[in-house]
Amino acid sequence: MVKMQSCYLLVLPALLISFVEALSPAFSLCQLQKPAIQSPLLGCPSGTLFVSQSDPRANFTSVQQAILSLPTSGTATILIGEGVYHETVNITRGDPMVLLGQLDPATAFDPAGNASTRNLVQIWDNKFVENGLSDEETAVFTVSRGAGAHFGNVDFKAYNIDFENLAANYSISQALVTDISYANASFYGCTFAGWQDTWYTGHSGNTYVVDSIIFGQTDYLFGFGTAWFQNVTLANRACGGGITAWQGTSGTLNGAYIADSRIIRSPDANATTVTDEECFLGRPWNDLAIAVYLRTFMDESIAPAGFKPWGDGRNTIENTTFYAEFESSGPGGNISMRVPVEHLLTAEEAQQFTIEGVFLGTPEWIDFDYEV
């Protein structure tokens, strides 16, 4: 299969993505492509739907068609066959749901592989903020609540799928890849490619991303909810704003948490990304913004100050904003010139920031058996 002419053709430096090699014990057998004499759903949970554009045994040729066919109650699993799917995907059902990207057995367990070369399923669209479209309406992939629902999906999981907004580039305005609002959603071994506002964890959203790659430029991790990024590569395609832009809420831990990850200049970065510009770790969307970086490698694209004010005439970061780092490494991890308001955590202080601490308990909607 010829992949899209996009970032997926780029191979990130092996040193920086060698950790992308895990699979889910619960779903790996289902995900592996089968010989023609075997059912494509061998090893899948009972009732799994199969989506494929080329296999005549498929239940559907469109991911969204399969989603719309699901009953409102009960756990649902959809296996997506190898292919490039041009569509907008919107999930509003409340009960648990799993999307699985099909994998080639020859490369699925390759320790040198990564989400930009191993994954066989790509979902893309090309909407951006224009003609009255809001940020949320441009998203390629949405998990949110349906009409009249107080909360959306309580347990959504996606494995080994590449998502991209192809409208996005250096000059176009906001063009989202995800919108996760009023839902609990987790992603494993995926890729998210955009420029401005790639990843959005919206109101009442709880998200967990592991073993994945996120491409972006301006405020490309943004939102209102709680988002934990574990063992991810954040690839700066250009600079502008900050990597994170969050609106915090008094009395909550809503914010962006990046742990055991890597921040690099994307292989397709605009030529000015390091030479004339420097990327910031974040800027506050409001004065209660939270962004915490734990044990993260940062290359030379990160500005020595680390964080910056929002702008619009505001030249300082309020002390109610909580920006923090612990054990940053690499050329951009030098903390000697960080802004005074930032919290440089001690080992004891860093222990307060765990998945269980941030989500106020052990989330049942996270697959902890998926190990990196």
Return the percentage of the chain with pLDDT > 70, whole number: 89
SS (H, E, C) 42-56: CCCCCCCEEECCCCC
Angle at 264 between CA 259 and CA 268, to 5 degrees: 135
How does strand 76-80 pair with strand 97-101?
Answer: parallel
* 1 or 193, higher pLDDT: 193
Measured at the CA of 142, the angle between CA 372 and CA 150, to 5 degrees, comes to 105
Q: What tokens appear for 18 in the block?
A: 């060698």
H helix and E strand count, the chain: 6, 26
**269 or 74: whose pLDDT is higher?**
74
Q: Which two tokens stand for residue 83?
A: 């292919």
Query: pLDDT value at position 16?
Result: 37
CA nearest 282: which of 265, 303, 261? 303
DSSP string, 230-278: ES-EEEESS-SS-SEEE---TTS--EEEEES-EEEE-TT--TTTTTT--
Q: What is the mean pLDDT of the chain?
A: 90
Q: What is the pLDDT of residue 14?
A: 39
Tokens 């839902």 locate to: 183
Euclidean distance between CA atoms 90 and 191, whole angstroms = 18
Name the burial class of residue 87, with classes exposed (0-12), middle (13-18) and buried (19+) by CB atoms within 10 angstroms of its CB: middle
Give residue-wise pLDDT tens across range 149-193.
Answer: 889 999 999 999 999 999 866 556 789 999 999 999 999 999 999
Render pLDDT for 203-233 as a digit per residue (tens, 0 to 9): 999 999 999 999 999 999 999 999 999 999 9
Contacts 24+ apart (CB under 8 A), 313-319: 316/341, 317/284, 317/341, 318/284, 318/287
Nearest to 217 by CA among 163, 139, 270: 270
Residue 349, φ and ψ in degrees, nearest 5: -65, -35
Return d(Cα 134, Cα 144) in angstroms, integer.
15
Give the pLDDT score at 18. 37
pLDDT of 4 strictly over 50? no
Is the pLDDT reported for residue 339 higher than 80? yes
pLDDT at 137: 83
Amino acid at position 73, single letter: S
Q: Does domain 14-358 have CATH number 3.20.10.10?
A: no
Q: Is the pLDDT of residue 116 over 90?
A: no
Give residues with Cβ within 8 angstroms of 301, minimum separation 6.
236, 239, 263, 264, 265, 269, 273, 274, 278, 279, 332
Q: For 194-210, what is each residue's pLDDT tens digit?
A: 999 999 999 999 999 99
Distance CA 278, CA 258 (A): 19
pLDDT band for 136, please (50, 70, 90 cuts): confident
pLDDT digits (tens, 9 = 90+) for 316-332: 899 999 999 999 999 99
**Signed CA dihedral, 20, 22, 27, 29: sign only:** positive
Residue 13 has pLDDT above 70, yes or no: no
State how far the alpha carbon of 38 is from the alpha carbons of 29, 104, 165, in Å.
Answer: 13, 15, 35
- The predicted model scores a pTM of 0.93
pLDDT higher than 50, residue 11: no
List pLDDT tens digits, range 249-301: 999 999 999 999 999 999 888 666 655 678 999 999 999 999 999 999 999 99
At 80-112, the pLDDT tens digits run 999 999 999 999 999 999 999 999 999 988 776
Burial 34-62 (b: 16+ CB within 10 A, else e): eeeeeebbebbeeebbbbbeebeebebee
Alpha carbon distances (Å) from 167 to 202, 232, 288: 21, 23, 31
327 CB burial (10 A radius; 0-12, 13-18, 19+): middle
Question: Is residue 224 classed as helix, strand or coil in its secondary structure?
Answer: coil
Tokens of 322: 């909580």
